Amino acid sequence: MISVRGLRKRYAAVDAVAGIDLEVRRGEIFAFLGPNGAGKTTTVEILEGFRTRTEGDVRVLGADPAHAGSEWRNRVGCVLQESSAEPGLTVRECLQLYAGYYARPRDIDDTVALVGLEAKADSLAEQLSGGQRRRLDVALALIGDPELVFLDEPTTGFDPSARRAAWEVIDGLRALGKTVFLTTHYMDEAENLSDRIAVISNGTIVAEGTPQTLGGRERMAARISFALPDGVEPPVPAKHVNGRVVIDSEQPLQDMKAIADWAIARGLDLADLDVRRPSLEDVYLQLTGGAA
């Protein structure tokens, strides 16, 4: 669906995108992550045909977005990072207006329901809250029934339950056979939704993989932690962090067995025992040079 080779975008002295390769397959949800200013929006807008590139080969649905026509645009839906309401139009009227631009639009009421805006269908778009406005943006991106949907930070400003509802909508796009290119700053969003992730930092792709394997996550040490009474030392090498024993373990099963045998022999119940793999956020922060 998307194939990018050697993409570069230079603004005056800055290489905002410094020669990246990307491949997105039909039917997958692809998450594009990176810190502020990393080059995400620049890349997405080049893929959408809204920005020119300095160098590189870009194919989206088999065409070069810089020269693609209206037939191509009908097959692509976009939720941009910023949007503005249509003055004087209700939610339903906005969707009717946009539906008119497409050859085979989706049903208006179905689309309103898909993003959970039924209660606001007859309210003016300019009077929606920030999160409701974002849902309308998603609805407008879907109204043309596109094959490929770009979602640039689609849930920024959503309350937790609206985010969960939006995830269901995005996950539902997978069931409809759509391909989704998602940028987000929420690691839980990427983890819950995406089939594959690419991380961009300073204009360069620094890692690519599934949420489980990104940056070698599946091979990283597990962290075992628990509290012990004063003066008791654990049976394996450990650090003490905020009053807890912390063991970064390459072999968690063996270490857990040693700890369990030792604790049982001493009658310690280790009630607050916790074993966890590094989170996607831990991996992301390592990859992008943030503090972990």
Q: Which residues are near ligand ATP by CB under 6 A?
A: 11, 14, 16, 34, 36-42
DSSP letter for 107, please.
Answer: P
Q: How far is the CB of 66 from ligand ATP (least distance, A)?
A: 16
What b/e sequence results for 181-212 when a residue is b if at least 16 CB atoms lie within 10 Å of its CB, and e otherwise?
A: bbbbebbebbbbbbebbbbbbbbebbbbbebe
If the CB atoms of residues 199 and 238 are measured against ligand ATP, the closer one turns out to be 199
| d(C-alpha 121, C-alpha 143), whole Å | 14
Residue 206: which residues within 8 A CB-CB, separation 6 or more? 199, 200, 287, 288
| Nearest approach, Cβ of residue 156 and ligand ATP (Å) | 10
From residue 170, alpha-carbon distances to 93, 138, 164, 179 in Å are: 23, 9, 10, 10
Provide the minimum distance between the beta carbon of 35 and ligand ATP in the complex, in angstroms, as a whole number: 7
Residue 181 phi, psi dihedral angles, 5° rounding: -110, 110
Q: Which is nearer to ligand ATP, 34 or 49 (CB)?
A: 34
- Residue that is written with structure tokens 């590094």 in the block: 278
Residue 42 or 179: which CB sits closer to ligand ATP? 42
Q: Cβ of residue 31: shortest distance to ligand ATP, in angstroms?
A: 13
Is the Cβ of residue 37 or residue 157 nearer to ligand ATP in the bound state? 37
Q: How far is the CB of 230 from ligand ATP (least distance, A)?
A: 46
Nearer to ligand ATP, 16 or 148 (CB): 16
What is the Cα–Cα distance from 112 to 129, expressed in whole angstroms?
16
